[in-house]
Amino acid sequence: MSNAPYPPVARHHPADGLRKTRRIIAEDLDWVLATVPSLSQLCLQSIVQNFQERPVFEELSPIEKDFIQERLSPSVPLGVTANVVSDGVYWKRCCEQRWDLCDVSNYDHSWKRMFFERHMESIIELFIPDVTDPKTVLDMVSLCGNYVKRLDISQLLPPIKEPEKEEEKNSSDLASDYEVETPSMDHFDFSILLDKLTCLEKLHLVYRVKQCGMNFVWNMFEMTDRDCESLAKALKSCKTLKVLKINQSNINDNLCRRLVKNLLDHPSLRELDFSHNLIGDRGARALGKLLSNSKLEILNLCDNDIRDPGAKAIAHALSKNSTLLFLSLRLNRLSDEGGKAIGQALLKNNTLLQLHLGANRVTGPTAVALSKALAQNNTLKSINLSCNNLGEDGGKALEEAMSYNTSVTECDIRLTEVDEQVVSVINRVVRNNQSLEENKRAPESY
Amino acid sequence: MPKKQKKAAGGGGRTEEEKLVYLQQRAQAEEELARKKEEILALFLKDKLQKEQRNSALNALKLSDSWRTILRQSRAAELRGNVSVLSRRFERELDGLDGTVKSLERELHEAERQAAQVNRLHLRSLERLCAQQDKWLRFVQLQWDKSLQQLSAGVRSERKQMLANSEQLRADLDDAAFMLERRYEETMREIHRVYRDSVTAFEKSPETTRVDLLREDKETLQEKSGRNQQDRQVMEHRTTQLNDKLAKNQVSSQKAESLEKKLQNQKDDIVQTKKLIKSSQTDQEALERDLSGARKEVTRKTRGLRDQLTRAQAAARRRLTDITIHSSNAIKRLQEVINKGEKVLRIADMCRKLALEQENAFTASSAPTVLEEEPEKEPAQFPELQQVMRSVNAARLRHEALKKQKSDLSRENQQLRLLLRRHLDAMTVSDGGLDGAQPLLTVYQVPAEPGRRHAVTEAAHAARRSLTD
């Protein structure tokens, strides 16, 4: 049969067609045998595709909301989704797409909160003063102000210094200082941010630059005066802040005093952590004043430069205070004067639960003073005097005091050069107290 | 001395001995004098020497002093210069050392600061790890406590359940025991009552009761005897019934035996019939097989015959079609010939008319051959020749046109024949070539044909129209 005069015709063998239909393997999990999806499905798909222009979410039923949360693309701009899409799978998908490690238990099991907090943190951490536009931050704040409860910022970038400008500065005289433009802020200015975050409860700040490599300059790791002023103003304006931690940012006495001045009479501050800074006696005096004036429950001043006068000021505040639960003066330079002052304060104070005086320079007399307090105090639960050279006398005094005490469940006297016997006696007493406490707690379960 | 010697010589004029002695004495004296003088001289010289020595020593001292002072002066200036130079040098070195010391101090500070920073970071990260560990420990502790509580709660609930069950059982037992006791007491009471009644009845009327009792006894005895008789009758009746039943049983057993025998016979028959059936079934199967074989052969033969039939039919149909085609062609040709003849007749009539009109001697004959022959016969008559020539040329032209048309028509006939043949071939399905491709191919090819056929028919129509025109 010659086919030349006729156009080429496809050879459709019926057997091949059957084989083709059998080979279809659905990779789309939503593939249904029914070729025509229901109208509600079509509507939901069109909602998902056009979400940017017309965000429809509130009016849907919970099942439809789940459907949209699973299908909506994470690249839809936040301005649209932030206030419309409620907490759920969509934010989980956004988080997992953006970051590798997502542990939602740190964020109270709320994916939306995790996403916004980490997003906010990354914006602030990558903010370069005078280069990044503050408007980006403000726009973000207006969207996520309701969902950010904690900000854990681990780096704050200083402004970029161009080397040419530096040379000019060196060669010119004082007169040119007024002409050369100093950057408007040394680090990110929190005063634009904190009063707009209405649910912020915890703020952790570290003034440092990660991965600076060979460009290491000490001023990347310091908080300057201007930063302190803006931060102080911002803290005063943030009315819901409960926890403030500023670590390792070279806070010295002046900065500390300025910050404390603005934190006096703060309505909701409960925890203050200035550990790993350079606070000295004047700063400690300011903190003592803060103790008397606010409802602080936790005060952590470990690894600072506080000596006896500062310790005396804090002890004075402690004796009058009735809200503080945890005080840590670890890794400071207290000596016996300060220790004795604190011991005397403990005689009057009956709310403190945990006291940490480890790694100071206190010796035997301090132990004697503390043991007097221990013998009659029955609220203190944990005391830590490790890495001080208490000596035998101090050890014996402590042993005697502990035999009268019934509330201390944790007494740490490692590396204090006391006798082994003392240590064993004290451990026995502590174990007794622990079992006493468990018995007190136990009947509640029955 | 030479004077003295002269004197000595001059004084020699005296006695020579005296002179000699005098000379000797004088010599001696002179010698002594000389000696003394020498001594004095020596002393004097010594003194002088000493003095000179002293002086020279002094002078030497003075000289040395002055030399020293001069030397000192000059040396002092030099030394001062040196000292200043050295002092400047040492100052510079001191400054350098101070600078290095300061820079070392600074570097030490830096290093301490950096070490402190690193330590702090390390501490913070350790604290974080500790916190994490504590969190994990607390979590695990919580889980442990929870599971403990759950277990204890489960155990407690089970215990309660079991207690409740046991108590319920005990309660049931108590109830049952109570019930039993009550019944026991009731029955005991009844027995006691009956006993008491009987005792009292017996005690109340001893004699009458005895007679009554006797009567009662007699009555009871009678009753009992009557009852006995009744019972005996009943018993006899029952025994007869039983005997009847026994007889019946025997009969029925015999019947059963016979039935059994019959059953066995029937079973044997059944077995035999089954065997027969099996044999017949095998025969039937064989027959069936033969039949099926025969059927297959028959079907094969029928199929073969059918194929032959169809082939013959196809051949016949083809022949028929050919014949029809041929006949139609022949008819067409005849028709055409007839038409041509008619046309020629008409043309001849027209020619005759024309010739008659133009007073021609010629008469256009129907046969074109006459036309061909005639011009050769009469070439002399000019005007008539011209007319004849014109008519002859016209006829020749017509002839040629007709030839052309004929050839065209024949070609078209051939093509039509081919088409028809193909069409007919397509329409007949031969059993020999039942391929999947061909019938569909032909099916697909057929629709292309009508267009062609249209073209062909239109051409035929056009040709016919042109012929009529």
- Per-residue pLDDT tens for A54-64? 887 888 888 88
The minimum CA-CA distance between A3 and chain B, rounded to whole Å, is 9
Task: For this complex, say whether ipTM is above 0.90.
Answer: no
Task: State whether B123 and A276 contact (CB < 8 Å).
Answer: yes
Number of separate domains in chain A: 1
**What is the pLDDT, as a whole number, of residue A285?**
92
Q: What is the DSSP string of A161-188?
A: PPHHHHHHHHHS-GGGGGTSPPPS-SS-
Is position B286 within any domain? yes
Find the CB nearest A276 among B113, B120, B441.
B120
Mean per-residue pLDDT, A351-368: 90
Task: State whether A6 and B444 contact (CB < 8 Å).
Answer: yes
Q: Helix (H, G, I), strand (E, B), or coil: what is residue B273?
A: helix
**What is the pLDDT, as a whole number, of residue B405?**
94
Is position A372 within any domain? yes
Task: State whether A9 and B438 contact (CB < 8 Å).
Answer: no
pLDDT along chain B (469 residues), means of 10: 52 67 80 81 83 87 91 93 96 97 95 89 91 94 96 97 96 96 94 90 73 76 80 84 86 87 90 89 89 91 91 89 88 88 87 74 43 50 75 88 94 94 78 46 45 54 68
Is position B112 within any domain? no
Is position B267 within any domain? yes
Is position A362 within any domain? yes
Contact A361, A335 (CB under 8 A): yes
**What is the pLDDT, as a whole number, of residue B152?**
96
Is position A316 within any domain? yes
**What residue numbers bound the domain in which B227 lies?**
166-299
Q: Is some CB atom of chain B closer than 8 A to the CB atom of A384? A: no
Is position B258 within any domain? yes
**What is the pLDDT, as a whole number, of residue B381?**
55
Q: What is the pLDDT of residues B189-229, one digit of tens each?
A: 999 999 999 888 877 776 666 777 778 778 877 877 887 78
Contacts of B120 in chain A (CB under 8 A): 248, 276, 303
Largest CA distance in chain A: 120
Minimal Cα distance from A6: which residue of B? B445
**What is the pLDDT, as a whole number, of residue B199?**
85
- Answering whether pTM is above 0.90, one says no
CATH code, A342? 3.80.10.10
Q: Alpha-carbon distance A74 to A89, whole Å?
A: 11
The minimum CA-CA distance between A276 and chain B, rounded to whole Å, is 6
Is position A268 within any domain? yes
A178 pLDDT more than 90: no
Beta strands in B224-275 (DSSP E): none
**What is the pLDDT, as a whole number, of residue B358?**
67
Number of separate domains in chain B: 1
Mean per-residue pLDDT, A424-438: 89
Q: Alpha-carbon distance A306 to A282, whole Å?
A: 9
A15 pLDDT tier (thresholds 50, 70, 90): low
A106 pLDDT more than 60: yes
A328 pLDDT tier (thresholds 50, 70, 90): very high
Mean pLDDT rounded to a whole number for chain A:
82
Look up residue A327 and give its two tokens: 């005080």
Q: Is some CB atom of chain B closer than 8 A to the CB atom of A121? A: no
Residue ranges of alpha helices (H) inside A238-356 are 253-263, 281-293, 308-320, 336-348
Which chain B residues touch A if contact means CB-CB below 8 Å?
Answer: 113, 117, 120-121, 123-124, 149, 438, 441-442, 444-445, 448
Task: State whether A6 and B448 contact (CB < 8 Å).
Answer: yes
A134 pLDDT more than 60: yes
Beta strands in B2-153 (DSSP E): none
Q: What's the N-to-C CA distance of chain A in angstroms?
A: 98
Contacts of B149 in chain A (CB under 8 A): 445
Q: Alpha-carbon distance B468 to B459, whole Å?
A: 14
Q: Count A/B contacts: CB-CB distance under 8 Å.
A: 22
Mean per-residue pLDDT, A220-243: 86
Contact A207, A227 (CB under 8 A): yes
Mean per-residue pLDDT, A200-228: 85
**What is the pLDDT, as a whole number, of residue B460?**
63
- Percentage, residues of chain A above pLDDT 90: 13
Is position B31 within any domain? no
**What is the pLDDT, as a whole number, of residue B14?**
57
**What is the pLDDT, as a whole number, of residue A169?**
46
**What is the pLDDT, as a whole number, of residue B352?**
83
Contacts of A1 in chain B (CB under 8 A): 438, 441-442
Q: What is the pLDDT of residues B331-375, one digit of tens each?
A: 888 888 888 888 888 988 888 888 787 655 444 443 444 444 444
**What is the pLDDT, as a whole number, of residue B433?**
44
Contacts of A441 in chain B (CB under 8 A): none
**What is the pLDDT, as a whole number, of residue B457?**
57
The minimum CA-CA distance between B120 and chain A, rounded to whole Å, is 6
The minimum CA-CA distance between B430 and chain A, rounded to whole Å, is 15
Minimal Cα distance from B110: which residue of A? A218
Q: Alpha-carbon distance A258 to A298, whole Å?
A: 20
Task: State whether A1 and B444 contact (CB < 8 Å).
Answer: no
**What is the pLDDT, as a whole number, of residue B5?**
52
Find the CB nearest B445 among A6, A218, A445.
A6
Least confident of A167-176, A279-288, B393-402: A167-176
Is position B201 within any domain? yes
Residues 6+ apart with CB under 8 A from A47: A54, A56, A68
Q: Is some CB atom of chain B closer than 8 A to the CB atom of A303? A: yes
